[in-house]
Chains A and B, each alone.
Chain A
Amino acid sequence: MSSPLSGVSAVSASGGPGCHGRIDRADDPALPPAVLVAVHDDAPPGVLREVCAGAEELGIPTAILPDSPAGADDGGRLAASESRLEVGVGIGPDGDVVVRHALVPEPVLRLAGGGPASRVRGAGADAARIVAGLALLG
């Protein structure tokens, strides 16, 4: 299912129906508010799928930034600062995940690469839970 929104390309199906796919630019007014994900090109594809699934289960949309800095933390910082929901997720080349809020100096959550899929899903869920104002899973 691809998003009908302008500025959204269907190149990334891996984000699922809750994900607006890879976007050209974050400040597109036609794009609904979303948790932005900055994913490194070398990141294992399963990580992006689980992060987006975690947010989708809570009904919070995600979108993928066109390009990503080298590390998960810088990616998370960029994604959070670009997101109109002020929440971003960075995925590093090793599959490490960092969840950030634009106004909070420290990462809200860090996850080393190679962990179980359920933990990665949990990180995506926590990014959504920040937006929804729900207590975090961990």
Chain B
Amino acid sequence: MKGTPANTAGAVTAVRRALEAAGRPSDALATVLLNEATPVISGLAMETITETIITESTMIGHNPDTPGGEGLGVGTTVGLDGLDVVEPGEPVVVVVPAGADFDDVAHLLNRAVQSGADVVAAVMHGDDAVLVVNRLEHRVPVVDEVSAVDRVPLGMLAAVEVAPHGRTIRTLSDSYGLASTFGLDPDQTRQVSPVARALSGNRSAVVVRTPAGDVTDRRIPVGTLTLSGSGRSLDVGVDTGAAAIMEAIGRVAPLDDVHGEAGTHVGGMLANVRDTMTDVTGQPASEIRIRDVLAVDTLVPAVVSGGLAGEVSRENAVALAAMVRTSRSRMQAVADAISEELGCETIIGGVEGEVAVRGALTTPGTSVPIAIIDMGGGSTDAALLDRDGAVSAVHVAGAGELVTKLIDSELGLEDREAAESVKRHPLAKVESFFHIRHEDGTVQFFTEALPPHVFAKVVTVTPEGLAAVPVRTSLEEVRRVRREAKRRVFVVNALRALAQVAPQGSLRLLGSVVLLGGSALDFEIPGMVADALAPHGVVCGIGNVHGTEGPRNAVAAGLVDAYAGTTAGPAPEKLQDQVAS
């Protein structure tokens, strides 16, 4: 972590590489300049705050790829082995257990129909619905891939609906459709309306009428955050959502400290952040204050409890990023260690925000007042140099790591590397063994066949080649999730941080805004931030230190320029001219 002695080895490596790149021997080095860095530690937590529960096997609401047949069948559930004793003319829905062969099933159903049974639909375990329906003399709707088919209750009234290709079901996803199907009174209809909602958008569904069957949405209590600031303290339930949390933070701003309820994810995360800072600085945990929190609403796919076919519903969750910084500087220890390692003088030459602004000001086209935004992994930093030469700086919680976490959970990837790849690289869809369609719609042809493991997949286009994204959703959905995550973290934080350093909190008074750091190299974040700032009349762009270095090395360039004075290049002159004017 920057600003701590553990950082020494990294600093020494960077200096040696710079010397190597410049073709200079290490004994030619006279002075190393260090900036005063603020150690910042951040933490992330996510709490799912709603859950969907199916009680008493009331419905099967998953979406198998290939259901069979079409239409709506309503009848009493009966096992495959119970077909022989079915009353002729009584409509039945056949429940087919695991391991049944499609030819045998079709044969048994055809035989039952020949002996007078009124088979109106079937529910089965295997992925055989189309195969069975193709062999039936009277085609009926069949829903397959029901993994817990053995838990479908027998002897109950059930309805099976399969929509035509390209359509979604109409009856079982409609409250009055369910009422008509099962003969429900107004009170019962009100009770089953969550079932209808849970099924909407599916191509197939099964609803079983059981005495106490229901689908409920439940809010999970996940503890409270205690926010202190402005001389008062406020409790806010995490399950109230991000908007309520951020509104509460606004009411106690500026934030002095935050505590989370013990035994919850959020409480654990905040305690962990404090402990890490204690380890790094030696400062007692009681003195460490959480100075900023960013809460973001998100939707995470979760397996429905009580579901019979691995049904997944999108549940509400709140993601929280917290940030702690310390004023206890250990820079002198770092400077001493570097001096010893490299055998040269080391000077602590300025505060990070100030020198970064100075470096950013070497970007052609910028002028004072100038603000910088440095979007890192854990925190987003902003600093402003005003016309009087005064610099103000701020760190806010939430940056790249939170974006990765949101992408990971919203797409249900459970694979941090894949989420990181989605964040960093544009998407494409592999449309054949020889061509892909990029997310902007353009097509790229390949002369050699693409490997089968990426065929028809949504992929990230990385410098190392195409990497499959392990999702079943469309490219458009993955892109939407990626851009929304970046907007809710980077754009929201850029505006939040700039508002804290802007004169009178007004973004209109900012002048130039320069984006620095790794995220400024991202393929879409600079454009998204610039779009968000455009209505405020702010010129915003990617830093280009000294006109050649791009958005990196602003701090190093600022340090060297300040030390070397006006002889180092155009930048300090420009700074002085502009500050003077």
Contact = CB atoms under 8 A, between A and B. Distances in A.
Given A104-B449, A105-B449, A56 B131 contact: yes
Nearest to B165: A59
B433 A104 contact: yes
Contacts of B453: 136
B455 A103 contact: no
Given A103-B433, A103-B434, A136 B449 contact: no
Contacts of B131: 16, 18, 53, 56-57
Contacts of A109: 452
Interface of A: 1, 16-18, 53, 56-59, 101, 103-106, 108-109, 129-130, 133-136
Most-contacted residue by chain B among A103, A104, A109, A130 (CB, 10 A): A104
Contact of A57 (B127, B135, B452): B127
A53 B127 CA distance: 10
Contacts of A16: 131, 134-135
B106 to A, nearest CB: 10
Going nearest first, the 7 A-B pairs with the smallest beta carbon separation are: A104-B449, A135-B456, A17-B134, A57-B130, A108-B452, A135-B457, A104-B433
Looking at chain A's contact residues, the main secondary structure is loop
Contacts of B455: 108, 130, 135-136
Task: Report whether over half of chain B's contact residues are helix, strand or loop; otherwise say mixed.
Answer: loop
Interface size class of B (residues with CB under 8 A): 10 to 19
A136 B433 contact: no
Interface of B: 66, 102, 127-131, 134-135, 431-434, 449, 452-453, 455-457
Contacts of A58: 66, 130
B37 to A, nearest CB: 46
Contact of A18 (B128, B134, B431): B134
A59 B276 CA distance: 57
A1 B139 CA distance: 14
A133 B433 contact: no
Of listed A57, A105, A136, residue having the most chain B CB within 10 A: A57
A134 B449 CA distance: 16
A101 B434 CA distance: 11
30 contacts: A1-B134, A16-B131, A16-B134, A16-B135, A17-B134, A18-B131, A53-B102, A56-B131, A57-B127, A57-B128, A57-B131, A58-B66, A59-B66, A59-B130, A101-B449, A103-B434, A103-B449, A104-B433, A105-B449, A106-B449, A108-B452, A108-B455, A133-B431, A133-B432, A133-B456, A135-B456, A135-B457, A136-B452, A136-B453, A136-B455
